Amino acid sequence: MTNLRFQVVEEAFKKKPLEVATPKERPSEYFGKYVFNRAKMYKYLPAKVYDKLIDVIDNGSRLDRSIADAVAAGMKQWAEENGVTHYTHWFQPLTEGTAEKHDAFIEHDGKGGMIEEFSGKLLVQQEPDASSFPSGGIRNTFEARGYSAWDPTSPVFIIDDTLCIPTIFISYTGEALDYKAPLLRALHAVNVAATEVCRYFDPNVKKVTCNLGWEQEYFLVDEGLYSARPDLMLTGRTLMGHDSAKNQQMDDHYFGTIPDRVQAFMKDLEVQALELAIPCKTRHNEVAPNQFEIAPIFEETNIANDHNMLLMSLMKKVARKHGFRVLLHEKPFAGINGSGKHNNWSLSTDTGVLLHAPGKNSEENLRFITFIVETLMGVYRHNGLIKASIMSATNAHRLGANEAPPAIISSFLGKQLSELLNHIENSDKDNIFNVAGKQGMELDIPEIPELLIDNTDRNRTSPFAFTGNRFEFRAVGSEANCASAMIALNTAVAEALADFKRRVDALIAEGHDKTDAIVDILREDIKTCKPIRFDGNGYSDEWKAEAEKRGLDCETSCPLIFDNYLSESSIRMFEAMNVMNRKELEARNEVKWDTYTKRIQIEARVMGDITMNHIVPVATHYQSRLAKNVMDMRQIFPIEKAEKLCARNMKLIEEIAERTQAIETGVEELTNARKVANKIESEREKAIAYHDTVAPKMEEIRYQIDKLELIVADELWTLPKYRELLFIR
């Protein structure tokens, strides 16, 4: 009996890295080659048109449709010089992926022929079918109209023969059906609120920009082995599989030498990414075997988010060229690290980073403290919502396991910053100004001569850790759209800053000194948001109990966590900041519950199919082989000796029988649980049923299958094992 598994493993071992053509230019010379960036705008657009477009991008001015035709003409000329024949509005629907419909640059010329044409109207707006995208009931199947509208702040780019135009996606009735529209609103909200607070310290500040630096973790699996695992192909993760004897215990993969095939893939990916102006800077082996990371330089959040979505699509394409499949599921393999997408978040003005310390003077240091505290206020007030923004059926497997942060939002600040906030909270005004700081430095509040922030140990279990000049939001999942977390975080911070300014202004109106008013409000907020600060072990049972005492959201059920979007405080915040209205929030939650249900539903069906078509037949075949061996032994040896010699095989036969029976019963119960859940009309209640009754049965079945994997003869097992999936290069 020839086992396909052995063939694909052997082929994987024989694969050699592809020869990757290295551009002769330096990366800086081909960076943005296929992007309509400012240099190309300057070259291909009339001067007045260029100036107006730059004003839109830099200052948020409304796009003048009168320049659209000129912009479209310049884009078309540049695109055709690069072999482009089609264009598409590239948008981010609520599927967690991207969408595009390609149209050719052709129209009838009125003389029986065709001409290449691309007008401003086609650039600015299109009408993609909105009926088949998730809308949470905003659009019915028979109500198909939706609009995509050009986002000038995110550069147009070329993929193959297509000009890709980043756009928002809204319904005919005006509601956002995507991630970009509410993200842009959230970024505007935090810009307005933060700019007003900044003017307490520097009246010349004109704009606050939110920056994002994502770190994309991923697994690579040999394509042949991937194709031999139906669960990986259909769900993105292994629904069964016993631990390899060696996985990540030795920590020898982390930052280790990058395997040749992987290095070739990374090199190819980086070149193509840089040509699309994705500023890739870091690459390395991650902790788990076959796990890697790529990270760019910080960018403005809207562009960074687009670049991450583009990179995830690009890396899948490049990986197949090199005989790999990219796994972006947060937990494709049990028992080893999952993959996250750490979102390094910061705010900056044209004068510098707001979260950077020490500052040049006392005002900058007080500004730093203000933005740290108000960020914590936003995260504290909406910690349940922040958690909901990163929660999914896939990320739920990762959170709280193998160095991933737990499903309780808290913030690590480090020793010195924590001590500083405690000092502000507890000191009275008479002695707050003369406090001994680190290394004999005086630390005066608010007239702080110097503020020293240590490079403290990183807390791997903190979901939202301060790391010197930014917060690292570590809980975001690897296959998620960063926009979900950035919408919630920026809106929460915008609300906190707006509330801070309102209260400070009220004190100033009463005659208080501006600095005293700021310090008084900061002291109140430091006390209020103190429950969100935690520098200890987020995995400990003590922390879970303590977090509950502090009033933090400790819910672990994914469908119930989504309820945070519809709390009155969340709705009030989103509406007040003009990011999303109640109807949009209700619709998005319908999509989230439906997506959760379908994810578990697909996994349950795949598990049932693999179990009955692969696992049980293989196990019973091996059982029959053992039974024949027992019968042969009894014919050869005297009965007493035969029974003694056959004891092990008899024990295995019995164990296989018991486990296969448990598996078959489990699959039947799993199917029945699905049928019951599927009859529930409410998307929320159906998702809860899948979480409570369907998902646990899958774990019970997996336990039995993984035990069988250790028993059944290796040559009979048809599915590639962890030791093969994780260590093929």
The pLDDT assigned to 2 comes to 56
Contact of 473 with 346, CB cutoff 8 Å:
no
How do residues 342-369 score in pLDDT, each as one tens digit?
A: 999 999 998 788 888 777 777 888 999 9
The pLDDT assigned to 664 comes to 97
CA-derived radius of gyration, the chain: 29
Structure tokens given for 42? 């300057």
- Residue entry with tokens 């529209």: 181
Contact of 723 with 10, CB cutoff 8 Å:
no
Alpha-carbon distance 545 to 71, whole Å? 58
Alpha-carbon distance 697 to 688, whole Å? 14
- Residue entry with tokens 């000129």: 70
Summary mean pLDDT of the chain: 90
The pLDDT assigned to 139 comes to 65
Q: Which of 3-17, 54-68, 646-660 has the lowest mean pLDDT?
A: 3-17
Alpha-carbon distance 149 to 456, whole Å? 45
Q: Which residues pair with 222 in a beta bridge?
A: 324
Element of type H or E holding 299: strand 299-300
Q: How confident is the model at residue 444 (pLDDT cuts 50, 70, 90)?
A: very low
Average pLDDT estimate for 237-261: 88
Residue 557, burial from CB neighbour count under 10 angstroms (0-12, 13-18, 19+):
middle
Structure tokens given for 550? 């502090």
When comparing pLDDT for 547 and 21, which is higher? 547
DSSP letters for 604-646: HHHHHHHIIIIIHHHHHHHHHHHHHHHHHHHHHS-HHHHHHHT
In the chain, DSSP finds a helix count (H) and a strand count (E) of 27, 18
List CB contacts of 77: < 8 A, sequence separation 6 or more.
44
List CB contacts of 417: < 8 A, sequence separation 6 or more.
372, 453, 466
The pLDDT assigned to 458 comes to 61
Verdict on whether the full-model pTM lies above 0.85: yes
How do residues 607-641 score in pLDDT, each as one tens digit?
A: 999 999 999 999 999 999 999 998 988 888 988 88
Of 447, 16, 43, give the one whose Cα is nearest residue 259: 16
Structure tokens given for 79? 């695109």
Residue 139: how many other CB atoms lie within 10 Å: 23
- Integer CA distances (angstroms), 30 to 24, 35, 161, 269, 558, in order: 10, 10, 18, 14, 44
Of 126, 53, 115, 113, give the one whose Cα is nearest residue 87: 126
Alpha-carbon distance 592 to 394, whole Å? 12
Q: Does residue 463 have a cis bond before it (omega within 30 degrees)?
A: no
Q: How confident is the model at residue 453 (pLDDT cuts 50, 70, 90)?
A: very low
Burial track 13-29 (b if 16+ CB lie within 10 A, e otherwise): eebebeebeeeeeeeee
Residue 253's Cα: distance from chain center in Å? 23
How do residues 571-583 score in pLDDT, each as one tens digit?
A: 999 999 999 999 9
For the four alpha carbons of 51, 56, 60 and 64, in that order, the dihedral sign comes to positive
The pLDDT assigned to 273 comes to 97
